[in-house]
Structure 1
Amino acid sequence: MEWPVEFAGALPIFVDGWLIGTGDDENGVVWLRDAETGRLLWSRSVGPVSSYPDLAVSAGRVFAAVWLSSAGGEASELHALCAADGRPLWRRPLPGDHVVEIKLVGETLVVATLTSAYGVSARTGGVRWRIGVAARFMATVGDILIATRSSGPSGVIGLDPETGRVLWELPLPETSSVEFTADQDLVQVRAYAFPDDHDSEGLANPLAASSGGEIYALPASTGRVLWKRAFAGMGSAAFSAQGMVYLAAEGRLVALDVGTGKTVWSRSLPSPDLSPDFRLNDGVLLVNVNGQDRDGKYPIWGLAPRSGAEKWALRLSQGVYEIALAPSGMAFMVTISQSAKLIAVDTNDGGEIWSRPVNKDSQILLGRDLVYLGDGMRQSIDAFRMRDGVALSD
């Protein structure tokens, strides 16, 4: 065992029993390790760079996008590496542009830059298409790529990833912030507007300072709006699953029917400026309230998704930084404090299975039977057994 192991930049990716990550911010190192032992199998430099590589993985290939330090950060490169041994497969320069996000869709690597979007062949590195749209927060719904516009008028677009053709666009020019989620074919778009003199200082949810917000539902295939709802204020997170949309609005946790937009149930929140996080696991809607109740505790609710009935509730003495769900009906939580803990919870009844102290602000990554914690400050990642929390570095 080689735990803990070093990493830099974003948390590594778990794929098919391997961990793939980055290190050494000057040389742009990409590495692959055995996910059970932490043993390094290969590492490859794609530098010199001025940013950590952004990674995507598919079909035995690792894709890395970097900014080049030799060009003063004014150029980017794409690299494809063989996942088996790290040998280079192809390299694609993108002069005069900054890559900010990559998304693999089938055999097309969609590349978002500060000014454009590219479609690059995952097999050869050849550029299939380029459009003058600055896209962000890309996600796929079926065969459609959904993204927000990061320059020009605000809005959401649907792209054909094979051709780059804009299939539809939902313009939202009067909004200050646009976000979206998706469930099967339906996309839910949340648009926020802020007054010029708005002040969000001290608010648990800065978006609660908005003068109003709207949520839209539209099929990914057509972009035609099926319904929209307006609220005096909306939280910064929403979650869509099994025909429902969950969000915080006007001081309440609200569940909407995804087909009609009508309210199915709602539940009051401890404070109107809170923005809960949502997860769904084994028929339980897990809600991290992200704030204190009247007794100074931090609630985690386990609710019935269709009715909002409370199945169980945790009231923690510390807030929760992050939650990850395992298919086995377990939830893993890292609390926020200098004395942070990793807690494993049974999502069926809310019972604590085990807990152990961990470093503050650790990020969670789940493997097959292991839970990994990445510590960005110390640039290290450790592995723990899911069943009992034992660290493999012990």
Structure 2
Amino acid sequence: MDRFRLLPLVLSLALVTGCGLLPTKNGGEPEVEGPHRVPAKEAFSDGGDKGTPETVSHHWVGLSKVWEVPQLDEVPHRYGLVSDGTRFVGLRKEIDGSGEAELTGYDGASGKKLWRQQLPWAAVATPVASGETVVVPLGEEHETLKTPVEFVALDTTTGQERWRAKVSHRAFMGNHVSSRPAPEPGAILDGVFYYADGAKLIGRDLVTGKVRYQRTSKSHYALVGPRAARDHLVVLVRPDPLKDTEGINTRVRSVAVLSKALKPVHQFDFPEGEAPDEMVTSGDIVVVTSHGEPGRMWGLDARTGKNLWDQPLPRKIRLGLPVGGVLSLVDEEYRFIGHDMLTGEQLWTLATRKGDNQSLRGRMVGVADGTLFGLGHGVEIVDTASGKVIFGHQFTPRGGGLVVAAGGRIVIYNHDGFMGFE
């Protein structure tokens, strides 16, 4: 595979080593005057009939550590992190993919451990959480088509299982037939967990697991999604070559926009032969990328179903995460590139510091609580308007990291454990 790939909201991390340092005053804790969480300077107004990105009302400008849960692994692991807003769940599994993963629930405000579970999380799939429920995709990284895959929902306060749902569609028809090691991540919208199972889209009550909505396509199956786009759901689909597709161009992929009841609202067809394979959303805005030769990137409005823009996408670009109407990409030199989600315009490029390419290998984008983070061997806060680093510090020796907001804290999970910040 000659390109980078970062699934939207895939909070998993392979263990690496290294010891680059971010400079701070006098080599000690970072000094930031005033509150660390401040109101945003700008917010998007109602776009009327047109869609807008998600509004950001505040963001962080500094961090002070208030608790820490050390964790030192003797062998390489993959990690995951997800929050329901009050509690967070850390996931860890040995990098060879064998055995079950360890899932641990914590209180976000205090860092207190609440529960621990062992489950076959595949470490390539994204958990999602809301209220007091986390939904975890289960499977095996060294899978066969006979290996069952499913979703399991857990109570984030106790770790007790709420429900399970099996996913039967395993085959992935790209340039060749392969199988997924775990279900494609789903989405939570208004107390319903939505997911795809081949040609089926299913919405289950988040707490009880009861099916509330279901739709089956006669001609297409889901490649990516569903993702929530404000009051809608969006799914990247392609024609199923094993079904009757008379009158349908099998070389055309599409984004389907649906209501919460899974009723079709809009459909956008990509040019024939394009193979889009990644998708992120912010408010009503959907960004889809194709990593073919050449690659391409599109901005779509889920409210109107219209194409806002499209442009070439350079090779070896990882799709990052959106915040405040800005989508950050990461190139092969670990530079962050900010794009306006409404226009596709490139706003800024944030390079690594001189001489730091080696120490910042594995630098990733993180988004939590209206804030863009750079997570490598240190923690950076990036101003989305200018692309400048407004805070930087290395809190633990090995660095790395995943980030969420929980219990009024910023929570970072890196190779040395968990940290809570105010």
TM range (shorter): 0.5 to 0.7
Question: Alpha-carbon deviations, 1:316-360, whole Å to 9, x = none?
Answer: 98567024467698x65444xxxxx31445849746554345326
Q: Identify if the C-alpha distance between structure 1 residues 19 and 237 changes in structure 2 by more than 3 Å, giving closer, same or farther.
A: closer
1:78–1:93: 8 Å Cα contact kept in structure 2? yes
Match of 1:19 in 2: 88
Query: Is 1:76–2:115 an aligned residue pair?
Result: no
Q: How does 1:212-291 map to 2 (within 5 A)?
A: 213=296, 215-225=297-307, 227-231=308-312, 237=319, 258=342, 287-289=349-351
Question: Alpha-carbon deviations, 1:130-189, whole Å to 9, x = none?
Answer: 435223144221221123236754332212342364642323331133444445434344
Match of 2:163 in 1: 90
User: What is the alpha-carbon distance in structure 2 between the residues aligned to residue 232 and residue 286 of structure 1?
Assistant: 16
Q: Identify if the C-alpha distance between structure 1 residues 166 and 172 changes in structure 2 by more than 3 Å, giving closer, same or farther.
A: farther
Match of 1:201 in 2: none
Amino acid at match of 1:51: A
- How far apart are 1:104 and its partner, in Å? 1.4
141, 157, 160: which is aligned to 2:229?
141
Q: Percent identity?
A: 14
- How far apart are 1:57 and its partner, in Å? 1.7
Query: Is 1:322–2:368 an aligned residue pair?
Result: no
Amino acid at match of 1:32: G
Match of 1:106 in 2: 190
119, 122, 132: which is aligned to 1:51?
122
Q: Identify if the C-alpha distance between structure 1 residues 129 and 138 changes in structure 2 by more than 3 Å, giving closer, same or farther.
A: closer
- How far apart are 1:50 and its partner, in Å? 7.0
Match of 1:273 in 2: none
Match of 1:62 in 2: 134
User: What is the alpha-carbon distance in structure 2 between the residues aligned to residue 70 and residue 297 of structure 1?
Assistant: 38
2:106–2:114: 8 Å Cα contact kept in structure 1? yes
1:155–1:172: 8 Å Cα contact kept in structure 2? no
User: What is the alpha-carbon distance in structure 2 between the residues aligned to residue 125 and residue 13 of structure 1?
Assistant: 20
2:149–2:167: 8 Å Cα contact kept in structure 1? yes
Q: Greater relative contact order (Cα 8 A, min sep 6): structure 1 or 2?
A: 2
SS at match of 1:125: coil
Question: Alpha-carbon deviations, 1:91-117, whole Å to 9, x = none?
Answer: 333456552322212232112346643
User: What is the alpha-carbon distance in structure 2 between the residues aligned to residue 3 and residue 28 of structure 1?
Assistant: 18
TM-score, length-scaled by structure 1? 0.60
SS at match of 1:65: strand
Q: Identify if the C-alpha distance between structure 1 residues 146 and 296 changes in structure 2 by more than 3 Å, giving closer, same or farther.
A: same
Amino acid at match of 1:224: K
Match of 1:170 in 2: 269
Query: Is 1:131–2:216 an aligned residue pair?
Result: yes
Q: How many residues align?
A: 312
Question: Alpha-carbon deviations, 1:38-80, whole Å to 9, x = none?
Answer: 43212344x5x47358522222223233238999753233333
Match of 1:389 in 2: none
Which structure has more strand as a fraction of its residues?
1
2:202–2:214: 8 Å Cα contact kept in structure 1? yes
Question: Alpha-carbon deviations, 1:260-293, whole Å to 9, x = none?
Answer: x7x6xx6xxxxxxxxxxxxxxxxxx774346x8x
SS at match of 2:417: strand
SS at match of 2:304: coil
User: What is the alpha-carbon distance in structure 1 between the residues aligned to residue 267 and residue 183 of structure 2?
Assistant: 24
User: What is the alpha-carbon distance in structure 1 between the residues aligned to residue 303 and residue 135 of structure 2?
Assistant: 28
2:223–2:277: 8 Å Cα contact kept in structure 1? no
Question: Alpha-carbon deviations, 1:187-246, whole Å to 9, x = none?
Answer: 34445542xxxxxxxxxxxxxxx2x64x54442133233x54554858554887777778
User: What is the alpha-carbon distance in structure 1 between the residues aligned to residue 370 and residue 227 of structure 2?
Assistant: 26
1:11–1:374: 8 Å Cα contact kept in structure 2? no
Q: Identify if the C-alpha distance between structure 1 residues 15 and 6 changes in structure 2 by more than 3 Å, giving closer, same or farther.
A: farther
Amino acid at match of 1:58: S
2:108–2:409: 8 Å Cα contact kept in structure 1? no
1:2–1:39: 8 Å Cα contact kept in structure 2? no
User: What is the alpha-carbon distance in structure 2 between the residues aligned to residue 60 and residue 321 of structure 1?
Assistant: 31
Amino acid at match of 2:419: A
User: What is the alpha-carbon distance in structure 2 between the residues aligned to residue 100 and residue 186 of structure 1?
Assistant: 21
Q: Identify if the C-alpha distance between structure 1 residues 157 and 289 changes in structure 2 by more than 3 Å, giving closer, same or farther.
A: farther
2:286–2:301: 8 Å Cα contact kept in structure 1? yes
Match of 1:307 in 2: none
Match of 2:70 in 1: 4
User: What is the alpha-carbon distance in structure 2 between the residues aligned to residue 38 and residue 90 of structure 1?
Assistant: 26
2:222–2:235: 8 Å Cα contact kept in structure 1? no
Question: Structure 1: which 5+ residue stretches go unaligned?
Answer: 195-209, 267-284, 299-315, 336-340, 387-394
- How far apart are 1:374 and its partner, in Å? 2.4
1:113–1:135: 8 Å Cα contact kept in structure 2? no
Query: Is 1:120–2:204 an aligned residue pair?
Result: yes
Which structure has the bigger radius of gyration? 1
Quick check: 178-187 or 98-107, which moved more? 178-187
User: What is the alpha-carbon distance in structure 2 between the residues aligned to residue 155 and residue 230 of structure 1?
Assistant: 17
368, 375, 378: which is aligned to 1:342?
378
